[in-house]
Amino acid sequence: MVHKIIEWSMRNRFIVLLLSAGLFVWGIFAVQKNPIDAIPDLSENQVIVFTEWMGRSPQLIEDQVTYPLVTNLQGIPKIKYVRGSSMFGMSFIYVIFEDDVDVYWARERVMERISTISKTLPDGVAPQLGPDGTGVGHVLWYTLDAPDMDLGEQRAIQDWYVKFALQNIPGVSEIASFGGFQKQYQINIDPNKLLYYKLSVPQVISAVRSNNNESGGRKFEMSNMGYIIKTSGYLKSIAEIANIPVKNQNGIPIKVSDLATVQMTGETRLGIFDQDGKGERAGGIVVMRYGENAAEVIDKVKAKMKEVSKGLPKGVKFDIVYDRGELIKESIDSIKHTLIEEMIVVSLIVLVFLFHWRSALSIIIQIPITIAASFILLNAFDISSNIMSLTGIALAIGVIVDNGIIMSENAYKHLAERYELWEKDQNKTTTS
């Protein structure tokens, strides 16, 4: 079989060269389409289920949230195992699927199962899926450099302006905010006043919740015109919260201000983000979507940042603290230079040792064609251009050249033997 292929190739050199040129062009297009990253994504095929139940102890979270979720999620098809983690006010479930399962198919199956489990969980507990990223999806970290702005305002700019602008970039799964203070209204109730007015905490909560609501009425017609009745009851200031009536005693309303103090403050924090020991800052983490090109996503995020920075308050600017794009560029450039140097060195060695330019040329041509064709296979198997894949290609150059040298030397040896036999026949004919 091999002899027939070689024989056909020798008789149809033009077709072989044409196929090689077509393969090389196809490989060039594959190189341009292949996703680029610094490190390979070796993380597990997982779906994260996040549940928040603030104010509850880890043991209560484990008993009433984590355990029911873990036990009910184990029956999903093509699942390997389920891991659960409980902490103060939060529960994390890691559903690990088999490697050949599509990540979005897995997310759909988990979401279907969660919709049936939610009925068994405590009131107000709503599990939600984590971002469709991987363990190596954090491609860029940034902070807001705002020396004349307090942390609450920095976090507000991040949550209500920057986050929404960057979230719409193709390839971005999530913008995770960190640092600063999340502003909130706090009602600090005096227990002695509750006892005096014979009220309870649930009554105060119910009064505030019912007043911070917008309700609709009905439509009626009058004088050939239609009117829609609605009430707008959203609370907008500290004074409005303080004036909420909780109870009526002897015709006198008992307001929230009679029972508690209302103030604007920050949500309780479990940690801080300090940059280079120069103080706290607020910022965000860009989480890349599963299977995206990291280099392209980072370039798009940086371009969007320039556009978003025009709308930031005076004196506020972005400060990138972690950029995988630089690591990607340096690592890929290093491997590319190594490949080029190796190709040049190998070509020179082949020329020196064979000392036959036609044989050396046939071997040297194999190097770029084989490397270009390898990217076709990388795209077929969804493998990105990273340190490991490109290093494997660099190591394979020696095998490629070695194969060509063996074939050339074998052909040269057979030709030399035939030429020697031909010379003997010619000498015999001349002697006769």
Rounded to the nearest 10 degrees, how much is the dihedral formed by the CA atoms of 395, 397, 399, 401?
A: -160
How high is the pLDDT of residue 367? 79
Burial (Cβ within 10 Å: 0-12, 13-18, ≥19) of residue 72: middle
d(C-alpha 235, C-alpha 68), whole Å: 36
Residue 415: per-residue pLDDT: 76
Neighbours of 220 (CB within 10 A): 10
**Whole-structure pTM value:** 0.75
Ramachandran angles phi, psi of 172, nearest 5°: -95, 125
Mean pLDDT of successive 10-residue segments in the chain (432 residues)?
76 84 88 80 86 88 92 89 90 91 91 86 88 85 89 89 91 90 87 89 88 72 73 79 87 89 82 84 91 88 92 90 85 76 74 71 78 86 80 77 75 78 74 62
| Residue 221: predicted pLDDT | 75
DSSP letters of 186-239? EEEE-HHHHHHTT--HHHHHHHHHHHS--EEEEEEEETTEEEEEEE-----SHH
- pLDDT, residue 92, reads 94
pLDDT on residue 49: 93
| DSSP code of residue 289 | P
